[in-house]
Amino acid sequence: MRRLLLLAVLACAAVSVPVGGAAAAGVNLVANPGFEEARHGDHSTVWAWDCEPGTSQTGAARSGSWALTAAPTSGSTGRCAQTIPVQPGGVYTLSAWVRGGYAFLGHDHGVAWTPPSADWARLTTGFTATSDTVTVYLHGWYAQDAFTADDIVLTGPDSAVRVPAAPAAPTVGESTSHSVKLAWIGVPGATGYRIHRDGVCLRSVTSTSAVVDGLTPGTAYTFHVTAVNTAGESVPGAPVSANTAPPYGQVPPPTRMLVGTPQAYQVFLAWEAVMAATDGYRVYRDGVLIGWSYGPAFTVTGLRHGTLYTFEVTALNSAGESARSQPVQVMTWQVP
């Protein structure tokens, strides 16, 4: 048999444990253990689990209303995984109920499996944690029948790390025809944040601001942010709406470029704003692109003293880049 595939956790994959206070030994540490919760109400995706394509929720549950079903292919096993914070040295027991095709229940330290069965069968495996997290997973086998799983349980000592609170609604900053800048207040205990657009996770960041690009001109979007740490992901923060700049025709080049008093190692440039420059401006030094500015001003740094430079600026919008402005020449101040 082919060796088991250990897939990397995706940038927006869920890393989660149940929200709430500390769990005592014997309390289930798995988030969404019975697959009752869907991601954004879509039962083709499973909240708190990182699943391969072909996995979804099914109404054929052992308990509750939903269970997990996965249909392996010749290239995938229908794997679903979840990373859970644990205590190093703690002793844990992992179990799950499965039926259908070949079914595997595993963790970082081992795996249990069962051959195909029409009846529910319980898989159990134990381990001693060697780090502060463990990844547990379920999967079938390549090109075999679909399997169903329900009631996943991990018991053992709880981690002291808690799921962070949800961030407040982000503020919208610079918006172009293809991008929106978002910023938010940091959440205590969070080690990162996930940016969601219209209910879909785009990516993870460690800072409290990000530029979301690849957007469509003249379109309204809704964004929210979640906070994450090793204990999991917060509930969604309050949403914010943002509109990209509308599409325009060809933008004219900037005019009336002004130069501030040259210094030894930097020069301040300003020019007349172009109304159709919804995507900002590009600045060129001696014919080479050196920077971008959202507004009609830019400070060029890293220059040499006593040196003559030529600067040009272009305007940007959804139609592209304008011709270059009339060049201006600047001599930096000579250091004695």
Q: Using CB atoms within 10 A of its CB, is residue 325 exposed (0-12), middle (13-18) or buried (19+)? A: buried
Which of 243, 270, 295 is at the close of a domain? 243
Residue 43, burial from CB neighbour count under 10 angstroms (0-12, 13-18, 19+): middle
Whole-angstrom Cα distance, residue 273 to residue 259? 15
143 and 44 within one domain: yes
What total number of domains does the chain contain?
A: 3
- For residues 122 and 66, membership in a common domain is answered with yes
In the prediction, which pLDDT does 41 show? Answer: 57
Q: Tell me what pLDDT residue 17 has.
A: 39
Residue 222 lies in a domain: yes
pTM of the shown model: 0.54
Beta carbons of 46 and 56 less than 8 angstroms apart: yes
Give the Cα separation of 224 and 240 in Å (integer): 6
Q: Domain boundary at 243, 270, 297, which?
A: 243
The 10s digit of each residue's pLDDT in 157-172 is 988 788 899 999 999 9
For residue 292, tell me if it sits in a domain: yes
pLDDT at position 2:
34
Query: Does a structural domain hold residue 319?
Result: yes
Q: Mean pLDDT across the chain, nearest whole number?
A: 89
Which residue, among 122, 114, 138, has the nearest Cα to 50 in the 3D structure?
138
Do 162 and 29 touch, CB atoms closer than 8 A?
Answer: no
In the chain, alpha helices (H) = none
Half-sphere exposure of 151 (CA within 13 A, CB side): 15
Which residues make Cβ contacts (< 8 Å) with residue 176, sequence separation at least 6?
244, 245, 278, 279, 280, 294, 316
Tokens of 293: 């500015």
Supply the pLDDT for residue 207.
93
* Residue 276 resides in a domain: yes
Does some domain include residue 88? yes
CB contact at 8 A, 155 and 11? no
Per-residue pLDDT of the chain (336 residues; tens, 9 = 90+): 333 333 323 456 544 434 333 444 468 999 889 998 876 556 667 888 999 998 888 889 999 999 999 999 999 999 999 999 899 999 999 999 999 999 999 999 999 999 999 999 999 999 999 998 999 999 999 999 999 999 999 999 988 788 899 999 999 999 999 999 999 999 988 999 999 999 899 999 999 999 999 999 999 999 999 999 888 899 999 999 999 998 888 889 999 998 988 899 999 999 999 999 999 999 999 999 999 999 999 999 999 999 999 999 999 999 999 999 999 999 999 998
Domain identity same for 195 and 277: no
Q: What is the pLDDT of residue 44?
A: 67
pLDDT at 199: 87
How many Å apart are CA 142 and CA 74, to the nearest integer? 5
> Are residue 129 and residue 184 in the same domain, yes or no?
no
CATH code of the domain in which 320 resides: 2.60.40.10
Kindly report the CATH number assigned to the domain that includes residue 112. Answer: 2.60.120.260
Instruction: Let me know if residue 45 belongs to a domain.
Output: yes
- The residue segments making up the domain with residue 322 are 255-331
pLDDT tens profile 54-101: 888 888 999 999 999 999 999 999 999 999 989 999 999 999 999 999
Q: Classify residue 216: in a domain, yes or no.
A: yes
* 22 domain-assigned: no
